Amino acid sequence: MSATDTDAHVSTCGCKGIRSCLLCERLKGGDQLNGNEAKVKLHFCYEPVLKLAVHEDGKPTSFPFPGVFIWEDFLSEEEEEVLVREMDKNVWSPSQSGRKKQDFGPKVNFKKRKVRLGDFQGLPAISKALVERMVREPVLAGFQPVEQCNLDYHPERGSSIDPHLDDSWLWGERLVTVNMLSDIVLTMSRHATRALELGLGSEDINDDEKEEEQEVQVAVRLPRRSLVVLYGEARHEWKHAIHREDVTARRLCSTYRELSAEFLPGGPQAEVGGRLLDVALSFSHTAG
Ligand SMILES: O=C(O)CCC(=O)C(=O)O
Ligand SMILES: [Fe+2]
């Protein structure tokens, strides 16, 4: 067992409402059934070279899947080791669905659409070189992160993240995630009826089931130490999730988010955006 796999990463639960993890399910007794389980699912796998979603059962069906960019070996093995060691010097707070998190960014109330600096000191110093590297990739030209959120997933906690779209009032076009410690599958999903509009053949949709009960899932494989960008349709039209069964070893990730047009120069909240960026890009947070 490695140092990153010890009990320190298992312990407390931060679940609320319908979310659960293995820790609270054991207390409540038995697994909680997820309401999504009953849906008929059509399974596809993302093929990064051709940018296609390919049917998993070997059927010759595929459809274009734009908006995913994967940078393999974004981190070297040595960099990954240093990053994980630095992250583990900071407190991991219990979060929903068996995740733990560390957030470096402004205080945000998404319901009231309010954002303020709070005690935000800047992104971690160790991230500066990584951001400088990522922006050299054309897909990430001009990317200026205003938030970094680190997540810790562990099979002993049954960690997962439910299908969701990230906010797009405050957060901008590109979501960037660096994947550490293990390979993972990011599952993209949307209703089959909407996927039909994307050119998926109607013969692939099961007539016996009500259309709204059917869902298309596209498995995006993220290798350890890779970086993934979600933008365009993959950002706005497809939900993303990490399934519990895909977390087979400890996995850490860092998600970087940029500001939406509303908070950028020319937007109605450009002044607020400028202040947030000045603090974020000072990279003045040091671990410990
Ligand atoms: O764990 C991941 O790769 C995704 C995290 C995520 O979707 C989020 O924090 O919004
Ligand atoms: Fe997300």
The DSSP bridge partners found for residue 217 are: 43, 189
Q: In this structure, are residues 222 and 74 in contact, taking their beta carbons and an 8 Å threshold?
A: no
pLDDT per residue over 161-203, tens digit each? 999 999 999 999 999 999 999 999 999 999 877 555 556 555 5
pLDDT band at 31 (very low <50, low <70, confident <90, very high): low
Which atom of ligand 1 has the smallest separation from the CA of 228?
A: 3
Q: Which CATH class is domain 67-186+222-280?
A: mainly beta
How many angstroms does the Cα of residue 262 sit away from the middle of ligand 1? 23
Which atom of ligand 1 has the smallest separation from the CA of 149?
A: 9
Which atom of ligand 1 has the smallest separation from the CA of 179?
A: 3
What pLDDT shows up at residue 18?
Answer: 85
Please determine, for the modelled complex, whether the ipTM score is greater than 0.85. Answer: yes
Nearest CA to ligand 1 atom 10: 166
Burial (CB < 10 A; 0-12, 13-18, 19+), residue 199, is: exposed
What pLDDT shows up at residue 94?
Answer: 96
Three-class SS string for 114-168? EEECCCCCCCEHHHHHHHHHHCCCHHHCCCCEEEEEEEEECHHHCCCEEEECCCC
Pocket test for ligand 1, best of 19, 152, 166, 177 (most atoms within 8 A of CB): 177
**What mean pLDDT comes out for the span 71-92?**
98
Q: Who lines ligand 1 at CB under 6 A?
A: 149, 151, 161, 166, 177, 186, 240, 242, 253, 255
**What mean pLDDT comes out for the span 76-91?**
97
Distance of CA 270 to the CA centre of its chain: 26
What pLDDT shows up at residue 3?
Answer: 38
What pLDDT shows up at residue 250?
Answer: 98
Q: In this structure, are residues 150 and 254 in contact, taking their beta carbons and an 8 Å threshold?
A: yes
| In the predicted structure, residue 205 carries a pLDDT above the cut 80 | no
Nearest CA to ligand 1 atom 9: 255
**What mean pLDDT comes out for the span 60-82?**
95
Residues in Cβ contact with 276 at an 8 Å cutoff, skipping those fewer than 6 apart: 106, 115, 117, 120, 146, 259, 263
Question: Of the ligands numbered here, which is closest to the C-alpha atom of 153?
Answer: 1
Task: Please give the backbone phi and psi of residue 195, each rounded to the nearest 5 degrees, phi first.
Answer: -65, -30
As a whole number of angstroms, the distance between CA 27 and CA 25 comes to 5
Residue type, 193: T
How many angstroms does the Cα of residue 132 sit away from the middle of ligand 2? 23
What pLDDT shows up at residue 13?
Answer: 84
Hunting for tokens 């390919």 — which residue is that? 54
Name the percent of the chain lying above pLDDT 70: 86
Pick from 160, 184, 162: which is nearest to 98 by CA?
A: 160
What pLDDT shows up at residue 125?
Answer: 97
Mean pLDDT computed over every residue of the chain = 89
Q: At 55, list the tokens.
A: 């049917």
What pLDDT shows up at residue 201?
Answer: 56
Distances (CA, A) of 154 to 27, 228, 249: 18, 20, 6
What pLDDT shows up at residue 287?
Answer: 83
pLDDT per residue over 121-131, tens digit each? 999 999 999 99
Lowest mean pLDDT among 33-42, 46-55, 105-114, 225-234: 33-42
Please report the beta strands in the chain, taking only residues with DSSP state E, as ranges in sequence order: 40-47, 52-55, 62-64, 68-71, 93-94, 100-104, 107-109, 114-116, 145-153, 161-164, 171-180, 184-191, 214-222, 227-230, 239-242, 251-259
- Selected residue with higher pLDDT from 14 and 85: 85
As a whole number of angstroms, the distance between CA 227 and CA 98 comes to 23
What pLDDT shows up at residue 252?
Answer: 98
| In the predicted structure, residue 95 carries a pLDDT above the cut 80 | yes
Q: At 230, list the tokens.
A: 């979600």
Q: What is the largest CA-CA distance in the chain?
A: 57
Which atom of ligand 1 has the smallest separation from the CA of 99?
A: 1
DSSP 209: S
Specify the 3-state DSSP secondary structure of 77.
Answer: helix
